[in-house]
């Protein structure tokens, strides 16, 4: 390659780089505008927040199209299954999700988790009750699998 060819290539690459930057800036402006529109709808209709946390509108997928992390109902169900048969208020489920880095992307994560838990109750996947004393709403996944018996099928003394 001669210097003249290299200069021509560099000039062409600089033009392509400039065009790519302009395209990226246009895309960034479009993304910012779309986010503002979504936030506006969510402000008007807070219950739509559960659409985002359900995972239906997320775009964080791996190369095979599978979600990188569980979201919405799947995330809430996973943490409750990991602590089966124990009752948790929404705040505890939020804390468990936060510990795993699974917090919903929402202006009100607690409300989004509550909506996911209520949908799980509606499907029969989890149970809902009220705590004795203060009446806090609590949720649990009930593991109905019996505990394994010993190798002889008998209980110890």
pLDDT digits (tens, 9 = 90+) for 1-15: 889 999 999 999 999
Of all residues in the chain, what percent carry a pLDDT higher than 90?
44
For the chain, give every domain's residue range. Answer: 3-44, 49-140
What is the 3-state secondary structure of the chain? CCHHHHHHHHHHHHHHHHHHHHHHHHHHHHHHHHHHHHHHHHHHCHHHHHHHHCCCCCCCECCCCCECCCCHHHHHHHHHHHCCCCCEEHHHHHHHHHHHCCCCCCCCHHHHHHHHHHHHHHHCCCEEEECCCCCCEEEECCCCCCCCCCCCCCCCC
With 70 as the cut, is the pLDDT of residue 140 above it?
yes
Structure confidence by residue, pLDDT tens digits, 95-124: 999 998 888 878 888 999 999 999 999 999
- Average pLDDT for 47-54: 62
**What CATH number matches the domain at 49-140, 3.40.50.10880, 3.90.1570.10, 1.10.10.10, 3.40.50.1220?**
1.10.10.10
With 60 as the cut, is the pLDDT of residue 59 above it?
no
């Amino acid at each position: 390659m001669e210097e003249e060819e290299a200069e021509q290539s560099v000039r062409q690459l600089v033009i392509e780089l400039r065009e790519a930057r302009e395209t990226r800036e246009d895309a960034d402006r479009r993304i910012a505008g779309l986010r503002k529109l979504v936030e506006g709808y969510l402000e008007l209709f807070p219950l739509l927040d559960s659409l985002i946390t359900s995972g239906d509108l997320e775009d964080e997928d791996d190369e095979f199209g599978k979600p990188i992390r569980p979201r919405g109902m799947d995330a809430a169900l996973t943490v409750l299954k990991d602590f089966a048969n124990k009752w948790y208020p929404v705040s505890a489920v939020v804390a468990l999700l936060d510990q795993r880095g699974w917090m919903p992307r929402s202006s009100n994560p607690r409300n989004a988790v509550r909506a996911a838990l209520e949908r799980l109750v509606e499907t029969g996947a989890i149970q809902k009750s009220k705590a004795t004393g203060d009446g806090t709403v609590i949720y649990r996944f009930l593991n109905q699998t019996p505990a394994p018996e010993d190798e002889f099928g008998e209980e110890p003394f």
